[in-house]
Each structure stands twice: as C-alpha cells, then as structure tokens.
C-alpha cells in the first residue's frame, strides 16, 4: 500500500498541517509536494518545515488560467502525484486539469454540501441560522463543490454564537476528516459507485445494499 500525495493550498494551511502530522510518512502515504496559488501562503512554510518540496503557481505569473493549470499539472506529474488534495485552495481549476487528474482530486469544504458551496460558507450558514452545519470531503468534478461526497460530519449550532468559535469547531472537524479520507483512499477502500456515479462506496463500511 502506498500513495504519493500532493497538496494545493492558498493560505494558512492548517489542513495541510493535519495531513503532515497525521498521515505523511505513515502507512505508505507520502506528501511529495505542496503547491500554492499565492507566494505568501503560510502553508508553504509548513511544507518546508516538514521537508516537503514546494512551488508557487500564481495566476498572475502565467498568460492565462489554462497555462497556469498546465504548468501545475506537469509539476504534479513530475513528482508522481497519485492524489491531489485541495486544502484551502481558493481557486477554480480548469476542466482540462480536472479531467487529467480525474477521480484523483479531493477537496475539503466547510459545510454540509450541497448546502453553501463556494466561498464564505461558514458565515453564510450562520447568517442563515442553520442548526446543523459541518464538513464535507469530496471528489472534485468540474462544478463548484459538486463532486461525489466521500465523508461528511455534522457540527450542531445554537445561537447566539460567536463566529470565531464556530470556525474553530469546524476546522477541528476538517483536521480529522481530511486525513481520514486520505488514509481510506491509500488503503484502496474508496470507489465511485458503478451504479450511481454520484455516490462513493467505502469498503468495510457496511450498508444493506438496497440503496
Ligand atoms: C478550510 O476551512 C477549508 O475548508 C476552506 O478553506 C479553509 C482553509 O484553511 N476551503 C474552502 O472554503 C474551499 N471552498 P487552511 O488553509 O487553514 O487549511
């Protein structure tokens, strides 16, 4: 069992840190590169501190998004990345990139999808007054946060609430769920349901087979 993982970040990189701390160098999982869309991303420092190779692929440094994503994809292939993890990567990848790594890109999102896709998901859920929000880890397709769901966990809310406290609780769940998903994929236990391509089957999870 082995899995070469690349992580894409744009900012703080706490989810990257969770992957480095919990699965990197264990069970055959190796983080082989961290790429950022921003030169100043704190995630790059975290990668360097763990001895992981880094690179910056800022849109402004390339003629267009297609060229940027092509350079990024080539860099990932050069490192032999088998799984691409979007960990707070705040840019939309081109369809060409997504097709090239089809079924091999996962994203962590701070809501229970399909509720609150896109940006500012935590604030929008709280503004809406939802009583349950949460975290989703999903495969990336060509839509915005629309791909097949691998793992979800609920986070209950009550009001009044401090947004910072809610963010902390959601991030803590992300830091468990994302490494767990990477571990399950490395174990070869995750596949798309051949009958319903929206669904993900996780080996060993049970299920009575009537769905
Ligand atoms: C995380 O909360 C992640 O779910 C979110 O950005 C944050 C990145 O934090 N991603 C999205 O909203 C993607 N649509 P981090 O840089 O500390 O890991």
End-to-end CA distance of the chain: 30
Q: Could you tell me which of 183, 178, 185 has the C-alpha nearest to residue 17?
A: 178
CA of 100 to the centre of ligand 1 (A): 23
Is residue 23 classed as helix, strand or coil in its secondary structure? Answer: coil
Atom nearest to 109 CA in ligand 1: 4
pLDDT digit string, tens, across residues 81-109: 999 999 999 999 999 999 999 999 999 99
What ranges do the domains of the chain cover? Answer: 3-202
In the prediction, which pLDDT does 190 show? 98
Q: Does ligand 1 come within 6 angstroms of the Cβ of 81?
A: no
**Which residue among 88, 118, 153 has the greatest number of ligand 1 atoms within 8 angstroms of its CB, and so is best to mutate?**
88
Selected catalytic residue, list 24, 109, 138, 175: 109
- What distance in Å separates the CA atoms of residue 24 and residue 112, rounded to the nearest whole number? 26
> What is the C-alpha to C-alpha distance for residues 111 and 134, in angstroms, rounded to an integer?
5
Tell which one of 46, 87, 118, 119 to mutate to probe ligand 1, the residue whose CB is within 8 A of the most ligand atoms. Answer: 87
So what's the pLDDT on residue 1? 74
Tokens of 195: 């009958």
Q: Which of 10, 43, 108 to mutate to test the pocket of ligand 1 (most atoms within 8 A of CB)?
A: 108
Using CA atoms, how far apart are residues 37 and 209, in angstroms rounded to an integer?
A: 42
Which residue's C-alpha comes closest to atom 17 of ligand 1?
A: 14
pTM equals 0.97
Mean pLDDT of residues grouped by 10 in the chain (211 residues)?
95 98 98 98 98 97 97 98 98 97 98 98 98 98 98 98 97 98 98 97 77 50
Any ligand 1 atom below 6 A from CB of 111:
no
Ligand 1 proximity of 108 Cβ (cutoff 6 Å): yes
Catalytic residue flag (residue 109): yes
Q: Say if domain 3-202 classifies as CATH 3.40.50.170.
A: yes
Cα 50 to Cα 149: distance, rounded to the nearest angstrom: 29
């Amino acid at each position: 069992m082995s899995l070469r993982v690349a992580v894409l970040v744009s900012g703080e990189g706490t989810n990257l840190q969770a992957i480095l701390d919990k699965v990197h160098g264990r069970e055959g999982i190796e983080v082989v590169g961290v790429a950022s869309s921003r030169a100043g991303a704190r995630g790059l420092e975290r990668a360097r501190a763990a001895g992981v190779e880094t690179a910056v692929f800022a849109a402004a440094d390339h003629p267009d998004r297609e060229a940027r994503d092509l350079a990024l994809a080539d860099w990932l292939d050069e490192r032999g990345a088998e799984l691409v993890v979007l960990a707070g990567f705040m840019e939309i990848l081109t369809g060409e990139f997504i097709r090239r790594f089809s079924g091999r890109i996962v994203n962590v999102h701070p809501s229970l999808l399909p509720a609150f896709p896109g940006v500012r998901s935590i604030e929008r859920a709280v503004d809406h007054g939802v009583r349950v929000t949460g975290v989703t880890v999903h495969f990336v397709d060509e839509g915005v946060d629309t791909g097949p769901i691998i793992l979800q966990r609920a986070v209950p809310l009550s009001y009044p609430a401090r947004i910072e406290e809610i963010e902390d609780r959601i991030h803590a769940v992300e830091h468990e769920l994302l490494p767990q998903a990477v571990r399950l994929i490395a174990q070869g236990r995750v596949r798309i349901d051949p009958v319903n391509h929206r669904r993900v089957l996780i080996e060993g999870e049970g299920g009575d087979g009537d769905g």
